[in-house]
Amino acid sequence: MTDILIRKDGKAGRITLARPDALNALTYDMCLAIDATLIDWAADDDVKLIIIDAEGDRAFCAGGDIREIYEIGKSGDPTRAQNFWRDEYRMNARLFEFPKPIISFMQGFTMGGGVGVGCHGSHRIMARSSRMAMPECGIGLVPDVGGSLILAKAPGHLGEYIGMTGARLAPGDAIHAGFADYVIRQAEWPALKDDLTRTGDPSHIDEAAIPAIPGNLSAMQPMIDAHFGKKSFAGIVASLRAEKSQFAENALELLSRNSPLSMACTVEMIHRLAEADTLRHALELEYRFVYRALTESDLMEGIRAAVIDKDRNPQWKHALDDLPSDAIDNMLAPLGANELTF
């Protein structure tokens, strides 16, 4: 497959995303290839660790291929999209539970589905110019691929803020929030990869790391906690509206762009996952939303506005303050026989 390069190199298993012109967006076939490879390499004594990287400078992975999802939605049969998410989430769980070190090198943008590939391993590396985001609420989805668990474990209420606003995180913020572990100068990556393939030993990663510059979110944390720590989406919006400050004004502007249904479900998911200790719990909850997404959420309209017509003017089903009381429960209700299994 030309979209992804999979091979063994010395003592390392190598997975390279190879769609730089598409910002290395993940296709269904790429997810299946990664999953099958993980199964093989878990039992392969020649593979001491796995290196995941990507071609091009602009992005490690800008997310799942949402054009592919849109075309499935237009067909009227969501089954293939549901299968896509099911198998992608199983791959995310396999990365999280993998018994050997997984080192990801994330240059440029890592967003959405890229978080699912790059942020569940043991050694998550960014460059100074790298940026991280979970922007799903902007297209009518929810933070998924296990990202909801990272958000739920972030300090204070950063998770609610990052998930609802889609904030782009510089390395310092990404490390602080739990999405990454190291900043290493990108010029040093080739030599580090050579060392990893030769030795099969990730201990030199610590030696190559440089201090991360503290990001904006650390300074904003008291304000974020004060507003985004409310018990519900409606409470967060009301809190922001009640305060006349630049922070509140900016936050409301960010929220006004995104799907109210998606943001409300994101808050609920983060709250439910506060005590979760496995990625599978998060993936099961995410799957309930995405299973219904093409027919019951804002996803099709969000993709249309963002990447099809590109008018950046989505017509969401609800306004910030008129979300029906049962809307969240309807999207996150158990799926019975269709629940995600592993």
The enclosing H or E element of 13 equals strand 12-17
Catalytic annotation, residues: 64, 113, 136, 144
Backbone angles phi, psi at 164, to 5 degrees: -75, -40
Q: Which contacts of 206-214 are long-range, i.e. CB under 8 A and separated by 24 or more positions?
A: 206/182, 208/182, 208/184, 209/182, 209/183, 209/184, 210/183, 210/184, 210/185, 211/183, 212/171, 212/172, 212/175, 212/183, 213/128, 213/170, 213/171, 213/172, 214/172, 214/176
Going along 177-242, which residue ranges are E strands? 182-183
Sign of the C-alpha dihedral computed for residues 158, 159, 164 and 169 taken in this order: positive
pLDDT (tens digit per residue) in 43-89: 999 999 999 999 999 999 999 889 889 999 999 899 999 999 999 99
Please state the rounded mean pLDDT for residues 241-252. Answer: 96
Task: Give the whole-angstrom CA distance, residue 342 versus residue 87.
Answer: 9
Tracing tokens 């004004």 back to the chain, one arrives at 249
Cβ atoms of 4 and 91 closer than 8 Å: no
pLDDT of residue 310 exceeding 90: yes
Return the structure tokens found at 292. 């219904």
Give the DSSP H/E element, type plus range, for residue 15.
Answer: strand 12-17
What is the pLDDT at residue 217? Answer: 92
How far is Cα 317 from Cα 313, in angstroms, rounded to an integer?
A: 13
- Pull the structure tokens for residue 42: 């878990």
Residue range 202-245, pLDDT digits in tens: 999 999 999 999 889 989 999 999 999 999 999 999 999 999 99
In which region does residue 319 sit, left (phi positive, over 0), alpha (psi from -120 to 50) or beta (all else)? beta
Does position 37 have pLDDT exceeding 90, yes or no?
A: yes
Mean pLDDT of 121-130: 97
What is the predicted pLDDT for the residue at 1?
A: 72
Map out the domains of the chain with their CATH numbers. Answer: 4-139+166-208 (3.90.226.10), 216-338 (no CATH)
Question: What pLDDT, on the 0 to 100 scale, is given for residue 277?
Answer: 85
306, containing H or E segment: none
In the chain, % of residues over pLDDT 90: 95
Residue 334 has pLDDT above 90, yes or no: yes
